[in-house]
Amino acid sequence: MTRMRAVDAVVLILEKEGATETFGLPGAAINPLYSAMKAHGGIRHTLARHVEGASHMADGYTRSAPGNIGVCLGTSGPAGTDMITGLYAAAADSQPILCITGQAPVAVLDKEDFQAVDIASIAAPVTKMAKAVLEAGQVPGVFQTAFQLMRSARPGPVLIDLPIDVQQTEIEFDIDAYEPLTPAKPAATSGQAEKILDLIAEAEHPIIIAGGGVINADAADRVVEFAELTSIPVSPTLMGWGAIPDDHPLAAGMVGIQTHVRYGNATFLESDLVIGIGNRWANRHTGDLDVYRKGRKFVHIDIEPTQIGRVFAPDFGVASDAGAALDALLAAVRSRAGGLPDFTGWAGECTARKSTEHRKTNFTEVPIKPQRVYQEMNQAFGRDVTYVSTIGLSQIAGAQMLHVYRPRHWINAGQAGPLGWTGPAALGVAKGKPGETVVGLSGDYDFQFMLEELAVGAQHRIPYVHVVVNNSYLGLIRQSQRGFEMDYEVSLAFENINAAGSASSGYGVDHVAVAQGLGCKALRVEDPELIGEGLRVAKELMDEHQVPVVVEVILERVTNISMGAALDQINEFETLAQTPADAPTALSPMGELAAAK
């Protein structure tokens, strides 16, 4: 045993647990932990500009590769409260991140000391564990439990609060005797797998819904293998996108009332058995439940038993890790006497549907229609790109029109959808995928929420491309206000006095100037025929300078994106629905590509 400060033990534990990528801001109450990190030398740290940004960076890093756990660090008081949105986003999407906060000394915790707040109680609803450690001797055990919980069953975040005196108290600790605890994960039995196959044998038009649990379990290859063995089409959820390549013959397309493709909904409505693996039946996926459930049976496989029956009762439910369930299903299929019905005809119908039911993207108008942007992104970035996005019409349209071919290549804050998540999360993803092309996708409002974090990418040389589709509107909120017959407090447009004469001056914020001021490269595109060239230049600038590169695309002010209340009631829009009085009447057809170089 060796005598050391509790924080020195913490750093050794982080290293042994494989959580060596940290994001945060030092401060008085967390400085002891930073001193331990500096002395150790093996824990990497990225200095954020905002603690919420640091929590989203940790989240993005976690999502970038199997087994990753991003760590967010902050001092006492507001640093912890700033982390709450990040913890919520991670918890909502089953992502394990570890947040560590400093705290005032134990003796003053109930005395309203400076920046002393009960952060453990505040964080409890959005974590698997939130604990203030008041005895230094408990530090190793608390961290050991935290890592086990983060990895067990439905993964999720943990917050550990360390008073400054606890951090500096010496304890006896031997890292060689420390062993990570084994995560607990339920596994489907062979009998349960056989029951599922019995239901498949009774079906004519089965479909697999592959959720985020498939990605978390690193089981995408097994979904594809099971589909190929059975000829059952696969539809990924928004969180499961990439579980099967979009161009695979058995990829049936995403289903939903917002993030979906037309052929995906059409195929689902023809199905009679739905096998959900690692999904939540989220409302943006199902829409009206009467339409979604009518005429079909449901199997639900989820690692968290309380998820089964939460939205509706399935015909058969199994509490299991997605990978373990697929292992059991694969074994059952291979050993099943008499096999299963031949679903190749049904699969062929689904494949044929993919060639006919698409939305128009090849618009040539100026101002640019957003659909054209996604067409150009598909062509410019190819199969290996990783997209990062969070919420808004930009994300919804992206999910309808982009293509994803590999797991963890669409990274999205699916349930919480916090504005501002995209930029810092993309930085975390880029840290987890060095040398790969990472592309953030934001509307102007999402981009403005945390754009100060671009300076983090400039300082630490974290390269990625950030596509900002700018209509100077809270577009999704404007579209939802149609039901109230109003367009109220959702316009971001104003005449920017510093951009007089520029084609985008009436759009308000000069995102190019702001990004450049933060140490990044940026360019603006106003002509649809120059979008592809702009994306190509952005990649070149990213590779050359190793910093974030912003591509701002000036859009028409109002475009309604296809969505509805039920899978059979999607409103399709193609053209400009209305022109607000404050919208600029004309834009220059040329962009500012040359200025970026």
| Contact (Cβ atoms closer than 8 angstroms) between residue 333 and residue 229 | yes
Q: What is the pLDDT of residue 483?
A: 80
Helices 6-17, 31-40: inter-axial angle, 10-degree rounding: 60
Cα dihedral 228, 230, 231, 237 sign:
negative
CATH 3.40.50.1220 domain extents, the chain = 190-353
Residue 585 DSSP label: S
- Rounded Cα distance between 163 and 498, Å, is 47
Is 569 within 8 Å of 476 (Cβ atoms)?
Answer: no
Structural contact between residues 445 and 392, judged by C-beta atoms closer than 8 angstroms = yes
Q: CATH 3.40.50.970 in the chain: give the residue spans.
A: 2-177, 370-596
Pull the structure tokens for residue 245. Answer: 């390549």
Radius of gyration of the chain (CA): 25
| Secondary structure element (H or E) that encloses residue 276, with its range | strand 273-277
Residue 32: CB atoms within 10 Å: 22
DSSP 437: -
| 307 touches 280 (CB < 8 A) | yes
Q: How far is the C-alpha of 334 from the C-alpha of 302, rounded, in Å?
A: 23
Residues 6+ apart with CB under 8 A from 290: none
pTM over 0.85: yes
Quick one: which H or E segment has residue 151?
Answer: helix 139-151
One-letter identity of residue 258: Q
What is the reported pLDDT for 504? 64
The values of phi and psi at residue 249, to 5°, are -55, -30
What three-state secondary structure class fits 429?
helix
CA distance 480 to 507: 21
Place of tokens 């962009």: 591
The CATH code of the domain at 2-177 is 3.40.50.970
Q: How many CB atoms lie within 10 A of CB 565?
A: 12
The predicted pLDDT at position 266 comes to 94
Structure tokens that stand for 161 in this block: 């609060």
Q: List residues bridging with 442 in a β-sheet.
A: 468
Residues 6+ apart with CB under 8 A from 49: 452, 453, 455, 456
CATH pick for 190-353 out of 3.30.1370.60, 3.30.360.10, 1.10.510.10, 3.40.50.1220: 3.40.50.1220
Strand pairing report for 316-319 and 297-302: parallel
Return d(Cα 582, Cα 158) in angstroms, integer: 46
CATH superfamily of the 370-596 domain: Thiamin diphosphate (ThDP)-binding fold, Pyr/PP domains (3.40.50.970)
Amino acid at 334: R
**Amino acid letter at 49?**
R
β-partners of residue 297 are: 273
pLDDT in tens, the chain (597 residues): 799 999 999 999 999 999 999 999 999 999 999 999 999 999 999 999 999 999 999 999 999 999 999 999 999 999 999 999 999 999 999 999 999 999 989 887 887 777 779 999 999 999 999 999 999 999 999 999 999 999 999 999 999 999 999 999 999 999 999 999 999 999 999 999 999 999 999 999 999 999 999 999 999 999 999 999 999 999 999 999 999 999 999 999 999 999 999 999 999 999 999 999 999 999 999 999 999 999 999 999 999 999 999 999 999 999 999 999 999 999 999 998 888 999 999 999 999 998 887 888 888 888 899 899 999 999 999 899 999 999 888 899 999 999 999 999 999 998 887 999 999 999 999 999 999 999 999 999 999 999 999 999 999 999 999 999 998 877 677 887 888 887 777 777 778 888 765 656 778 888 999 999 999 999 999 999 999 999 999 999 999 999 999 999 998 888 888 889 999 998 887 643 344 443 333 322 223 443 444
